[in-house]
Structure 1
Amino acid sequence: MKEQIKKLLRMVAHSLIGLSVKTRAGRYLLNQMLGAAMERVREVSHGNLKLRLAAPNSLCDWRASTFSTKEPETLEWIDSIPENSVLWDVGANIGLYSVYAAKKRGCLVWAFEPSVFNLELLARNIYENDLTGKICIVPLALSDSLGASKMRMTTTEWGGALSTFGQDFGWDGAAIRQVFEFQTVGLSMEDAMQRLAIPQPDYIKMDVDGLEHFILKGGVSVLRGIEGMLIEVNDDFYEQAEQCRKLLSESGLILKEKRHSDIIGNSTAGFQNCYNQIWIRA
Structure 2
Amino acid sequence: MALSEAFSNIFDNFRFHASIRGDRFLRFSYLIFYYSIFIFIRWGDRYLRCLNWLKASGLSDLRVRIETREGLKFEMDLHTAFDPLFSILHNKDYFLLDEFLPKPGNVVIDAGANIGIYSVFAASRVGETGIVVSIEPFQANFEALSRNVEMNGLKNVRPVKAGVDERAGSAKLYVHERAINHSLTRPSAKSMVIELKTIDGIVSEFGLSWVDIIKIDTEGNVPQVLNGAKDTIARFHPRIAFEHDTPEESKNLESFLRDAGYRWSDLRTLTYACHEG
TM-score, normalized by the shorter chain, greater than 0.5: yes
Q: Could you say if the C-alpha distance between residues 146 and 79 of structure 1 is closer, same or farther in structure 2, counting changes exceeding 3 Å?
A: closer
Aligned partner letter, 1:87: V
Please list every run of 5 or more consecutive structure 1 residues that lacks an aligned counterpart in the other structure: 14-33, 171-175, 261-274
Aligned mates of 1:79, 1:204 — CA distance in 2: 9
Counterpart check, 1:244 vs 2:253 = yes
2:185 is aligned with 1:182: no
Aligned to 2:242: 231
1-structure distance, mates of 2:191, 2:73: 30
Shift of 1:227: 3.1
Deviations, residues 120-144 of structure 1 (Å, cap 9, x unaligned): 111111111111x111101111111
Q: 1:146 aligns with which of 159, 162, 168?
A: 168
Instruction: Note if contact 1:230-1:277 (Cα within 8 Å) is conserved in structure 2.
Output: yes
Task: Name whichever of 219-228 and 95-104 sits farther off.
Answer: 219-228
Per the TM alignment, residue 193 of structure 1 is displaced from its structure 2 partner at its CA by: 2.9
CA distance in 2, matches of 1:108, 1:217: 23
User: How many residues of Structure 1 are paired with residues of Structure 2 in the alignment?
Assistant: 222
Give yes or no for contact 2:103–2:125 (8 Å, CA) kept in 1.
no
Question: Which residue in 2 is equivalent to 1:109?
Answer: 132
| TM-aligned CA distance change 1:245 to 1:66, over 3 Å | closer
Shift in CA distance, 241/6, structure 1 to aligned 2, threshold 3 Å: closer
| 2:151 alignment counterpart | 128
Q: What's 1:202 paired with?
A: 212
Residue 41 of structure 1 corresponds to 65
In our comparison, the structure showing a higher alpha carbon Rg is 1
Residues of 2 paired with 1:5 and 1:229: CA distance? 35
**Letter of the aligned partner of 1:86 in structure 2?**
V
CA distance in 2 between counterparts of 1:139 and 1:61 reads 22
Distance of 1:135 and 1:81 partners within structure 2 = 14
1:133-192, CA deviations, whole angstroms, 9 ceiling, x for partnerless residues?
Answer: 11110111111112121111112x5xx122222xxx33xxxxx3x142111211222222
More helix by share: 2
TM-score (norm 2): 0.71
Please provide the CA RMSD for this pair.
2.7
Task: Rate the CA distance shift 1:7–1:135 in 2: closer, same or farther, 3 A.
Answer: closer
Are the structure 2 counterparts of residues 81 and 258 from structure 1 closer, same or farther at C-alpha, using a change threshold of 3 Å? same
